[in-house]
Structure 1
Amino acid sequence: MSIKLHHVLKRVHALPPLPDSAIQVIDLTKNPATSVKELETVISKDPALTAGILRQANSAYYGYARRISSLQEAIVLLGFQVTQELAMSAAISPILRAQLLGYRIDQEELWKHSVLTAMAAKRVCQHCKLPYGDVAFTAGLLHDIGKLVISIYVQEVGDFLLKKAKDTSRSFVELEEKVIGFDHARVGGFLARAWNLPDELVAAISFHHSLSNAQNYEVLSSVVHVANGLSSLLGIVGGVDSLYNPIRQKALDLLRLEESDLELLKEDLKKILLDPTIFS
């Protein structure tokens, strides 16, 4: 059933683009010379993005005792890194709330998995003392976007892929590549490139299951890989394939994580899951 590249790319370009404002937020928050006013000006041009940021900024997850009522206040109190995270969450939320029959993903399921993976990626960076928590959060949020494109192909061969994953030592993502011609991570990279996202995000999305191909971004890809696995282990799965894409020892070795570290990370994420508003 090998699918031609041009068919996949046609579906990639059929998806709605990310708002320009979200891309500009990424660029601005990476520039130390950016002012609060510049960031506010870009975000405020997009009412939906502004509303999404304010809604999330007032969730219990961020823990402010008083209500944050203005965009400027949110940026000042939360900082540029969290503002970028909120902007990307608000921008991508409508897209990730889709039902994907190929992966047996119900509406909201992929969104929840993506949010927890993003939070887990940021937490892994903190635990391992790595410097790119903001990039890792966004990469975690977007890591499974390729499923939006190839779910229709997986739907045709899903039973076969599942049987092979159960009967062999191959992961589900390896079988996607073999049977369809592309795995969801690589297709996600095509989509990230079409959205003009930075190279580190394209690489982390593309190679979060095939770490050896990530080259200069192998550590970041490993962070997303482990975060994805932690989310699945906690029962917030991104589809029927999740349990057949286990955490690889290569990623743990690269990040110098032991089983005890994974247990600590899982306990931290369980506390996050106690907040009913994190997926709102």
Structure 2
Amino acid sequence: MRNNSLTTESFTEWTESDPELACALAAVAELPAMTDIVSDFLVTIEDPDWTAKSVAQVISRDPVVAASILKAANSAYYSFQRQISNLEGAIAVLGLSTIKSLVLAAGVKSMNKRFGLIEKLLLEDAIGCALCAREIARKTRCYDPEEAFLGGLLRHIGKIAMNNLDTEKYSQLVQDVYNGEGDLATLERQHFPYSHAAIGAALLHHWNLSPQLVACVLYHNIPAPPEKIGEQARILTNLVNLGGLFCTRLGFGQRTPMPELQPAASPCAATLDLEQEDSDDILEKIPEAFRQACESFMGHH
């Protein structure tokens, strides 16, 4: 029986039959690499014999990433009783999957060639959605919370990629959307030969991240064809889309919040069995976690 979830092979096959994906994959080669330490980190943790020491050695080569991880590890969000003073300690206490989330969050920020308002909003959107998706996964117990965090963090990585490939075009696109000149999908195709979902998925494929994450990023805006995406990727996509609704409600990465939006009333919430009580708890708890995360990764409130 053929596995119906997205695999590395199937992604490569799609690029042969889908000009948009092929174009996106070619564009990825022009992007500034995620800092070398992120690539090296991902290679190091593939080794089944990795140790806290070997992982710490890789991370410590980038003082900015190392500092943001220690700052995040000591934030009230993780609420440990004692101060964590070194990377080995952070890895031992937080566990590898949380460290992976933190390293990738630092890596996403490092992709930006410049850091103005657009970059700030894109990074806030990524951090906000990551935190919300992780919290929803914890509440519903339907998915690994750290993988949900990565899904939220990376769902709009394609927008960050577009902005770095052509800042002028991307600024114009943002302006056009803001002025109500059309929907995002249509306007993206006027400015770029691919959607943010296509280049985002191509980028994650290029980084060898899991097929579930690639599928989630590719299909976070449109319903996935059943034959192209497995059950796990479908759950992850619902988690991430619901995380995005919480972001919109709270105004993370947006110009203004939308207090009238009710994430718990959405089809994604129904699919994931998220109760109203859990939704209220997330809305109450996440803003402080978001403030701390922004401080750790961007040095501001």
- Please classify the TM superposition score into its range, dividing by the shorter chain length: 0.7 to 0.9
Q: Is the Cα contact below 8 Å between 1:188 and 1:206 reproduced in 2?
A: yes
Q: Which residue of structure 2 lines up, in the alignment, with residue 175 of structure 1?
A: 186
Is residue 148 of structure 2 the alignment partner of residue 136 of structure 1?
yes
Q: Secondary structure at the match of 2:92?
A: helix
Counterpart selection for 2:295 from 266, 277, 280: 277
CA offset at residue 130 of structure 1?
Answer: 1.9
Q: Equivalent residue of 2:118, what SS? A: coil
Inter-partner Cα distance in structure 2 for 1:89 and 1:116? 11
**2:114 & 2:150 partners in 1: Cα distance?**
19
Deviation digits for residues 91-115 of structure 1 (CA, Å, limit 9, x no counterpart): 2222258558xxxx53422112211
Amino acid at match of 2:86: S
Q: Which amino acid aligns with 1:115?
A: I
Determine if contact 1:18/1:91 at 8 Å carries over to the other structure.
Answer: yes
Residue 8 to residue 33, structure 1, CA distance change in 2 (3 Å): closer
What is residue 126 of structure 2 aligned with on the other side? 114
Q: Which runs of 5+ in 1 are unaligned?
A: 166-171
Q: Kindly report which structure 2 residues correspond to 1:1-280, keeping only aligned pairs within 5 A, or say none.
A: 8-19=24-35, 21-23=37-39, 25-26=41-42, 34-95=50-111, 98=114, 105-151=117-163, 152=166, 153-156=169-172, 161=177, 162-163=179-180, 165=182, 172-176=183-187, 179=190, 182-213=194-225, 215-216=229-230, 217-237=233-253, 249-257=266-274, 261-273=278-290, 275=292, 277=295, 279=297, 280=299
Which whole-Å CA distance do the structure 2 matches of 1:79 and 1:4 have between them? 38
Q: Is the 8 A contact 1:211 1:218 kept in 2?
A: no
CA contact (8 A) 1:117 1:231 kept: yes
Superposed CA deviations along residues 43-93 of structure 1, whole A, max 9, x for unmatched, are: 345444333322322334333454322111111222222212221122222
The answer on whether the counterparts of 1:59 and 1:277 sit within 8 Å (CA) in structure 2 is no
Gaps in structure 2 of 5+ consecutive residues: 1-18
Query: Per-residue deviation at 1:186?
Result: 2.1
Q: Distance in 2 between matches of 1:5 and 1:32?
A: 32
Q: Is the 8 A contact 1:211 1:251 kept in 2?
A: no
Offset at 1:230?
A: 0.7
**What RMSD over aligned residues (CA atoms) do the two structures have, in Å?**
3.6
* Higher relative contact order structure (alpha carbons within 8 Å, sequence separation ≥ 6): 2
The 8 Å contact of residues 29 and 81 in structure 1, kept in 2 or not, is answered as no
Q: CA deviation at 1:224?
A: 0.8
Q: How many angstroms does 1:128 deviate by? A: 0.9
Task: Tell me the matched-pair count.
Answer: 266
Using the size of structure 1 for normalisation, the TM-score is: 0.76
1:15 to partner: Cα distance: 1.4
Cα separation, 2, equivalents of 1:270 and 1:94: 24
Query: 1:156 offset after TM fit, Å?
Result: 4.7
Moved over 6 A (4+): 3-6, 30-33
C-alpha contact (below 8 Å) 1:173/1:184 kept by paired residues: no
- Whole-Å Cα distance in 2 between the matches of residues 145 and 64 of structure 1? 31
Task: Provide the C-alpha distance between the structure 2 equivalents of 1:252 and 1:267, rounded to a whole number of angstroms.
Answer: 17
With over 3 angstroms needed to count, the CA separation of the structure-2 counterparts of 1:140 and 1:20, relative to structure 1, is same
